Chains A and B, each alone.
Chain A
Amino acid sequence: MASDSHEKGRNRPKLELHVPQPHYRPGDTADFSHLNIPAAGDQPRPDEVCEARETYPLCDDLIRVLGDDDRAHGPWDPRLHADTLRKILREMALVRAFDNRMYRAQRQGKTSFYMKCTGEEATSVCATHALAADDMIFPSYRQQGCLIARGYKLTEMINQIYSNKADKLKGRQLPIMYCSKRLNFFSISGNLATQLPQATGFAMASASKGDSRIAATWVGEGSTAEGDFHSALTFATVYNAPVIFNVINNQWAISSFSGFAGAERANFAARAIGYGIAGLRVDGNDPLAVYAAERWAADRARSNGGPTLIEHFTYRAEGHSTSDDPSAYRSAEEREEWPLGDPVNRLRKHLVALGEWDDERQQAMDEEQDAIVRKAQKDAEANGILGHGLHHPFHTMFEDVFEDLPWHLEEQAAQAIRERQIKWPEDKAE
């Protein structure tokens, strides 16, 4: 029978499996001519409470405000005060200084792991400025800019990275997996896209209680392939949840280019169309455009207009993490030739063009940020670095599994403490 049906089908065309390939690999010349980058200011700005479908042309466009002349253009110009722009510039520079120093700390063996967000600073810092302080942030792992924009103490962040005795997460989480209830920054998970249904649930809860808080969540473009992404968008549209989905399209998910998340067929912003929610596609390296889009979505959510999906079109200038070597899978030229530039540099040039900034102030600011990070690092190191014994007491390992410690965990805690006395008899501290 099997051979029969094979015979019957022999005239059919041969099927081909398509496996996506990026445009260039190591050794190739980077060529960005396939990218359609429209002029700044050309994109219409619909009213925040418009029908979702009015935003759909924007899903295939790219909202840009800062032009090649370093000036702000068009209806998306958020018209921020120069003081605010300087504050944002300083915070983005602080994120970068922090990343550089923590990257080095990992190389020095002070911690196990680090993830830089170089080139993506605007997508977290500027977006956070567009939210209210009590809006809930459900981050992924590259949103250190959200915490810094909310004024989190760098020493606390480094304590967490070092998993030392002052780490308020008690040394349980990977470095960079921060959490701050006080700053409305949800706990980071290593499992991808899980924060999207959670953000939606938080937004639904807020709406069900008649509160005014909204939720915003971040996810990489690669993780949009996860089922959680689609569950979250379904729930968000069904209940018109006041939630913002920030999809950070930084082009690479470790070594897999965005084609493996479906980018060859449709922009990530266009995912919104299938769910009937508002969608915006934004130049993620344009700090003004990022702010404006996030503000638009926040205003929409707050006025019961419902959820928005924003694709931040950006570029991951560094490796995925300290465990990654991007030179093994992508063209060395990509980073330098990324056509949308660097967000810190673009904002700096904009402020200079406005006559609100200059090289001297920039240099002073850079030195100041570096000094702030150095001081925080020194303070954190006094609490210990990873693996040097200054960690939380053993018993804490068993706490917070449940609200109360059940008998089996109490027995296991006693075992761990007994073992400690055998393994490290000289160590008296508990």
Chain B
Amino acid sequence: MSALMDEKAAATSQDGVRHMNMIEAINSALDVMLARDPDVILLGEDIGYFGGVFRCTAGLQEKHGTTRVFDTPISECGIIGVAVGMGAYGLRPVPEIQFADYIYPGLDQLISEAARLRYRSAGEFIAPMTVRSPFGGGIFGGQTHSQSPESIFTHVSGLKTVIPATPYDAKGLLISCIEDNDPVIFFEPKRIYNGPFDGYYDKPAKSWKGRDEAQVPEDYYSIPLGKARTVCEGDALTVLAYGTMVHVAESVCRDKGVDAEILDLRTLVPLDIEAIEASVEKTGRCLIVHEATRTSGFGAELSALVTERCFYHLEAPVERVTGFDTPYPHSLEWAYFPGPVRIGEAIDKILSE
């Protein structure tokens, strides 16, 4: 039984579990933490009265007050910069960047300041913030509303990068992030806010309804950072994925009847290397799937790690399925997206070795 199943068994054995989509789960995590810890403070464009463009903070200002949940000027540098100062004071700010694509004006405050504050002050000052931001494509957002910039952050010493793939994980991981004393980037895969995506644009959108991962306790619970989730066990190959791609990969393996072991990495930094090694040593084959552009993407790091650490267990070269090295095109999004065809071909190639 996986750790997740244990957690779920514990969760569902109690009252107060209800169906939530990912937006509701995130909202619930923020609500729980605002109520539990008076030092938690939410800030971002449109997050207050309106509740965020994706509604993740809906109702929280009304419930917790305008000094705990408030709108900000349109300045990512300001949002993250003031969060550093708030952290130095002793608060636990949760800034929202409306789209991950907009995070670049705030990058210096994140990577030069928040990420290094503990180090450069030898632990005297810390920046315990959780930067929430919807990321990834699949919603026809064009090249400025679809990017997956996670590898920029995993390259920075001192930042943690967390990406949930289910409502249950979104709440439990987000609570851990807020409680963490290090700065964390919490990327929300917006394509699966309302339901999992199997990669087929021509099929009706799915909903989280009726799925185990959408049974979310209303109260506090947390999922430790640095622990991958085993989506399904198998012997044919190991698939490493996160966010939306967990669901696409799962659907492709199911459709093809491939006995894959799929790991949802959940956190890229810190990475659950033990789970990866154990799985690849078992299956001898490894496919890495992410939506971000290929060159210098996080898949390159995963591929290098697997090759360095599991080389003598490998039966085939490690394969990467990724987005292309172009900006995300609006009208050709379905062609850009690393969907079932690209994943299916890679699986065939790995299994044919």
Partner-B contacts on A (CB < 8 A): 136, 138, 168-170, 172-173, 177, 179-181, 186-187, 189, 191, 194, 196-206, 208-209, 215, 227-228, 231-232, 234-235, 238, 400-403, 406-408
How distant is the Cα of A169 from the Cα of B271 in the complex, in angstroms?
A: 28
Cβ of B228 under 8 Å from chain A = no
How distant is the Cα of A170 from the Cα of B109 in the complex, in angstroms?
A: 23
Interface centre among B91, B122, B181, B182 (most CB of A within 10 A): B122
CB distance from B291 to the nearest CB of A (A): 24
Report whether B109 and A197 are in contact in the complex, using a CB–CB cutoff of 8 Å. Answer: yes
How distant is the Cα of A195 from the Cα of B89 in the complex, in angstroms?
A: 14
How distant is the Cα of A203 from the Cα of B81 in the complex, in angstroms?
A: 12
Residues of A within 8 A of B270 (CB): 402, 406-408
How distant is the Cα of A16 from the Cα of B179 in the complex, in angstroms?
A: 56
Convert B306-332 into 0s and 1s, putting 1 for each residue whose CB lies closer than 8 angstroms to a CB of A: 000000000000000000000000000
Report whether A204 and B75 are in contact in the complex, using a CB–CB cutoff of 8 Å. Answer: no
Report whether B85 and A201 are in contact in the complex, using a CB–CB cutoff of 8 Å. Answer: yes
Given contacts A187-B124, A194-B113, A407-B270, contact A402 B160 (CB under 8 A): yes
Residues of A within 8 A of B125 (CB): 179, 181, 186-187
Report whether B75 and A234 are in contact in the complex, using a CB–CB cutoff of 8 Å. Answer: yes
Report whether B122 and A201 are in contact in the complex, using a CB–CB cutoff of 8 Å. Answer: no
Report whether B226 and A231 are in contact in the complex, using a CB–CB cutoff of 8 Å. Answer: no
Report whether A169 and B121 are in contact in the complex, using a CB–CB cutoff of 8 Å. Answer: yes
Given contacts A191-B108, A204-B86, contact A407 B75 (CB under 8 A): no
Residues of A within 8 A of B180 (CB): 403
Chain B residue at minimal CB-CB distance from A181: B124
Cβ of B120 under 8 Å from chain A = yes
Residues of A within 8 A of B16 (CB): none
Report whether A196 and B86 are in contact in the complex, using a CB–CB cutoff of 8 Å. Answer: no
How distant is the Cα of A199 from the Cα of B68 in the complex, in angstroms?
A: 19
Chain A residue at minimal CB-CB distance from B74: A234
Report whether B75 and A401 are in contact in the complex, using a CB–CB cutoff of 8 Å. Answer: no
Of B84, B89, B121, B271, the contact of A206 (CB 8 Å cutoff): B89
CB distance from A159 to the nearest CB of B (A): 12
Given contacts A191-B108, A228-B81, contact A177 B75 (CB under 8 A): no
Cβ of B112 under 8 Å from chain A = yes
Residues of B within 8 A of A205 (CB): 41, 85-86, 89-91
Given contacts A198-B82, A204-B85, contact A189 B113 (CB under 8 A): yes
Report whether A234 and B88 are in contact in the complex, using a CB–CB cutoff of 8 Å. Answer: no
Given contacts A203-B85, A403-B181, contact A179 B121 (CB under 8 A): yes
Of B81, B113, B273, the contact of A200 (CB 8 Å cutoff): B81
Partner-A contacts on B (CB < 8 A): 41, 67-68, 72-73, 75, 77-78, 80-91, 93, 105, 108-109, 112-113, 117-126, 157-158, 160, 180-182, 226, 269-271, 273
Report whether B84 and A402 are in contact in the complex, using a CB–CB cutoff of 8 Å. Answer: no
Report whether B158 and A172 are in contact in the complex, using a CB–CB cutoff of 8 Å. Answer: no
Of B83, B119, B121, B226, the contact of A201 (CB 8 Å cutoff): B83
14 A–B contacts from the bound complex (CB under 8 Å):
A136-B89, A169-B120, A177-B120, A187-B124, A197-B82, A201-B86, A202-B86, A204-B85, A228-B77, A235-B82, A401-B118, A401-B119, A401-B158, A402-B270
CB distance from A38 to the nearest CB of B (A): 35
Report whether A400 and B122 are in contact in the complex, using a CB–CB cutoff of 8 Å. Answer: yes
Residues of B within 8 A of A136 (CB): 88-89
Chain B residue at minimal CB-CB distance from A234: B73
CB distance from B93 to the nearest CB of A (A): 8
Residues of A within 8 A of B67 (CB): 208
Residues of B within 8 A of A189 (CB): 112-113, 120
How distant is the Cα of A189 from the Cα of B86 in the complex, in angstroms?
A: 17
Residues of B within 8 A of A199 (CB): 85
Chain A residue at minimal CB-CB distance from B226: A406
How distant is the Cα of A203 from the Cα of B91 in the complex, in angstroms?
A: 12
Report whether B105 and A400 are in contact in the complex, using a CB–CB cutoff of 8 Å. Answer: no
Report whether B120 and A402 are in contact in the complex, using a CB–CB cutoff of 8 Å. Answer: no
CB distance from B209 to the nearest CB of A (A): 37
Interface centre among B108, B113, B121 (most CB of A within 10 A): B121
Q: A181-B121, A205-B41, A407-B273 are in contact. List 14 more A-B contacts (CB 8 A).
A: A136-B89, A168-B122, A169-B122, A172-B119, A179-B122, A187-B117, A197-B82, A198-B82, A201-B81, A201-B85, A208-B67, A400-B118, A402-B158, A407-B270
How distant is the Cα of A232 from the Cα of B81 in the complex, in angstroms?
A: 8
Of all A-B residue pairs in the complex, the 9 with the closest CB atoms, nearest first, are: A197-B81, A201-B85, A201-B82, A231-B78, A205-B89, A198-B85, A202-B85, A187-B121, A181-B124
Residues of B within 8 A of A187 (CB): 117, 120-121, 124-125
CB distance from A231 to the nearest CB of B (A): 3
CB distance from B219 to the nearest CB of A (A): 26
Residues of A within 8 A of B82 (CB): 197-198, 200-201, 204, 235
Of B78, B118, B271, the contact of A234 (CB 8 Å cutoff): B78
CB distance from A152 to the nearest CB of B (A): 13
How distant is the Cα of A414 from the Cα of B194 in the complex, in angstroms?
A: 45
Report whether A231 and B118 are in contact in the complex, using a CB–CB cutoff of 8 Å. Answer: no
Chain A residue at minimal CB-CB distance from B78: A231
Given contacts A179-B125, A197-B84, A231-B81, contact A400 B112 (CB under 8 A): no
How distant is the Cα of A197 from the Cα of B106 in the complex, in angstroms?
A: 11
How distant is the Cα of A177 from the Cα of B119 in the complex, in angstroms?
A: 13
Residues of B within 8 A of A206 (CB): 89
CB distance from A211 to the nearest CB of B (A): 8
CB distance from A78 to the nearest CB of B (A): 29
Residues of A within 8 A of B84 (CB): 197-198, 201
Report whether B77 and A186 are in contact in the complex, using a CB–CB cutoff of 8 Å. Answer: no
CB distance from A347 to the nearest CB of B (A): 33
Residues of B within 8 A of A173 (CB): 120
Residues of A within 8 A of B77 (CB): 197, 227-228, 231
How distant is the Cα of A231 from the Cα of B74 in the complex, in angstroms?
A: 9
How distant is the Cα of A407 from the Cα of B227 in the complex, in angstroms?
A: 13
